[in-house]
Structure 1
Amino acid sequence: MSHILTLNSGSSSLKFALYPLAGADALDTLSPRYRGKFSGLNGGTPKLTLQDGEGTPMEVDMGELPEQLELPGATARLLSWLDDLPNLSLAVVGHRVVHGGRAYHRPVVLTPEITATLRGFESLAPLHQPFCLAPVAPLAERYPELPQVACFDTAFHADQPEVARQFALPREMTARGLIRYGFHGLSYYYINQVLPHHLGDAPRERVIVAHLGNGASLCAIRNGTSVASTMGFTAIEGMPMGTRSGNLDPGLVLHLIQQEGMSVEEVTELLYKRSGLLGVSGISGDMRELLDSPAEEAREAVELYAYRAVREIGSLAAALGGLDQLVFTAGIGERAGPVREAICRGCEWLGLELDPEANRHDASRISTAGSRVGAWVIPTDEERMIAWYSARLVGQA
């Protein structure tokens, strides 16, 4: 049976999913056969989890995991396991690739030349791009005829107005690609596709989607098209995240280097790995732990997170000229009711009226029937989006 393999590889994890090709002609008929994840790679404690298509945990034998496991080793174990599955063949592999630069606005079938071009964007996303592309070569060596597709996190935002993408820098710098790209595009693509199913006849001309996870961003969508987003040139801009700082005064970064004597590498580690919820709380970058903690520092971190989200929503609502619907998605957005409540309370001035009971139960609609702005909880599915795009691009759907 032919399948679509999706890969989402990062600095410490490798997420994968396997979809039967049958049903790939429509997004809502795509259903995974397996979903899995290697976590704790590249210096952590390796762990492998696997679920069937219904979300039931499964036991899987990919060999005993060593105390240390790098991404190439995890990729090799996955491919060997796939080879051993009976009656299985791969039709296409879809990769989540964080950055497409200015060159790639839609998914693309990878060639050696395109892959080399994408590696040239590693300086734009140094903590993501190298890992996204790492499985491409071993897959090509093992299955030389198998098409591989790159699906870009930046692509959804490529049609934003130029004024929304431009920094106030000299024009020659803008021409070199120093612009706001935006990220989490595969998640926004998915929510945009399934939104009509959830909203029915409710107005959806002006929508803000809040992708709130360990990485967090928000996107303003007008009539299905991204018009503004909180992330820009890098995936550090915008609101605070699990360990990333979000927006800072650029002068503060200069101060750290010039007055505090920090190196570029030290500042990079500070802003990407020691800030955000972890930095403010001093406890954890995991929202679940902070919500369970009695510490005042944890409360302050959660409060700052929600406050900054509300400010970003205000900015995006201005870009839209108003707001019809607010959608929460990703790990925090889908499961952290207290965070959603704090954000919705901060948006009452927009006409949003929260239904506390619906919010406590993670209902699909968490605003009252009379609320002028609707508030929704819609699970995202980046892997399904990758599978759908990949099958369509190579003519398999």
Structure 2
Amino acid sequence: MNILVINSGSSSLKYQLFKMPVKAPICSGLVERIGIEGSYIKHTVFSGAEKFVTEKTDFIADHADGLTQVLALLTEGEQAVITSPDDIAAVGHRVVHGGEHFSGPTLITEEVKKQIKKLFSLAPLHNPVNLKCIEVAEHTFPNAKQVAVFDTAFHQTIPQQAFRYAIPDQYYKEHGIRVYGFHGTSHKYVSEQAIKWLDKKDSKIITIHLGNGCSMTAVRDGRSIDTSMGFGPLSGLVMGTRSGDIDPSVIFHLIEHAGYSLDQLSTLFNKQSGLLGVGGSSDMRDIGKLAAEGKDGAILSLELYAYRIKKFIGAYAAILNGLDAIVFTAGVGENDKSMRAAVCKELNYLGIDMNKESNLDYSGGIADVSSADSKVKILVIPTNEEYEIAHQCFGLLA
């Protein structure tokens, strides 16, 4: 079964084509700067140990134009992987916000699209473009099943005492104010991989997704029971440009005493804070270089970043009442050896002890970087959100 996975952003579109149930993709690609000068497509076809890369720099007006060009790359030329759109059995769409309506992969109907539209206000940067790509894909692949996989779905198992805020009941019932959580597809995938690796279904695991956006999830027996992002993706850990947790009194203070508008505050906490605001760059690689040069802001930003993760490890170990493993994943989690070491430093009271050599030698795949004496396994597991979406679509349709 050929399943095309689409992961769309406000000005970008990632895709992978799988012949399920085979895990390795047939091809993958990235469409960047949609609607902006300098539009760019990188399309890669995999053939055994070889890969063939096509790059294009034609202007891409919108997501419909982008998907039209992707279809041409899939069907035309020497590296064509399908003969026509009818070869695609299903299109899996990453949709950021599913609210309380969706707890698993969902066949897209007119009613489902209405529900996604109702949630625009909860994910204004993502759900509108997610819906647009669904509508474009319906036209581009008219005979394919369209399936939505929601970032929030994995977290629908979080109990009420964890997802409710201590505000009057009417704000939950009338406005849906609660913890929803995000990065659910990634947390689900790596926690399942960890459970298989541990060979322990009754497990207590903390998954740590560290990229430009960062989040952590407490997973008991394969089910999310708490997560660091809340109503929106701003709360929790220090991120590339987001502040993470901050006292709401700061917002009141800036409005009352500094004349800030809501737009200014949104920009400040979402786009000007985090590693960028403290250390001078949103890219962890740049921060590492600046810290090595002795830049105080960069050094402090690394300390804040690691400290916040450690706080959540302690909190989640408490609510899990024990711990079998912690899992590092995503761009920073998989590639930044220094940050993994900083997070795991002085956690021996919780039974977390890293093998420094194993951590430094990590080069990919699933690996245990804990010491022989560590009671808790420290795992590095590369995330694979696109495959997880394809896997969920295949399970729904097969």
- Whether these two folds match at TM > 0.5 is yes
Letter aligned with residue 369 of structure 1 = A
1:56 to partner: Cα distance: 6.0
Query: How far apart are the structure 2 equivalents of 1:172 and 1:36?
Result: 45
TM-aligned CA deviation for residue 113 of structure 1: 2.1
Aligned residues: CA RMSD: 2.0
Deviations 1:149-170 (A, max 9, x none): 0001111110111101000010
Residue 225 of structure 2: SS of its match in structure 1?
A: strand
Residue 109 of structure 2 aligns with which residue?
A: 111
Pairing 1:164-313 to 2, within 5 Å after superposition: 164-176=162-174, 177-200=176-199, 205-282=203-280, 284-293=281-290, 294=293, 295-313=295-313
* Match in the other structure for 2:67: 75
What is the letter of the counterpart of residue 13 of structure 1? S
- 1:317-338 deviation line (CA, Å, top 9, x unaligned): 1111122211100110000000
1:11 to partner: Cα distance: 2.2
> What does residue range 149-168 of structure 1 map to in structure 2 within 5 Å?
149-168=147-166
2:189 maps to amino acid: Y
In structure 1, distance between residues paired with 2:251 and 2:153 = 29
**Deviation at residue 43 of structure 1 after TM alignment:** 4.1
The equivalent of 2:18 in structure 1 is 19
Equivalent pair of 2:195/2:222 in contact (CA under 8 Å): no
Which amino acid letter does the alignment assign opposite residue 67 of structure 2? T
Q: CA deviation at 1:38?
A: 1.9
Closer, same or farther: CA 343–98 of 1 in aligned 2, 3 Å: same
Shift of 1:144: 2.8
TM-aligned CA deviation for residue 343 of structure 1? 0.2
The alignment partner of 1:76 has SS state of helix
Map of 2:54 onto structure 1? 60
Structure possessing the higher relative contact order (Cα contacts under 8 Å, 6 or more residues apart): 1
| Deviation >6 Å, runs of 4+ | none
Structure 2 Cα separation of the partners of residues 343 and 44 of structure 1: 40
Residues 321/241 of structure 1: CA separation in 2 closer, same or farther (3 Å cut)? same
Q: State whether residues 12 and 44 of structure 1, in contact with CA within 8 Å, keep that contact through their aligned partners in structure 2.
A: no
Give TM-score, length-normalised by structure 2: 0.91
Q: TM-score, structure 1 length as denominator?
A: 0.91
Report deviation, 1:45. 4.2
Matched positions, count: 384
Q: Which amino acid in structure 1 is aligned with residue 25 of structure 2?
A: P
Q: Is 1:34 matched up with 2:33?
A: no
Alpha-carbon displacement from aligned partner over 1:190-236 (angstroms, at most 9, x marks no partner): 112222332246x8621100011111000001111111110111011
The CA deviation at 1:70 is 4.2
Flag structure 1 segments of 5+ consecutive residues without an equivalent.
Answer: none
Q: Percent identity?
A: 37
CA contact (8 A) 2:39 2:57 kept: no
SS in structure 2 opposite 1:326? strand
Which residue, 365, 387, 393 being the options, matches 1:384?
A: 387
Alpha-carbon distance between aligned partners in 2 of 1:108 and 1:238, rounded to the nearest angstrom: 28
Ranges in structure 2 where 5+ consecutive residues have no aligned partner:
none
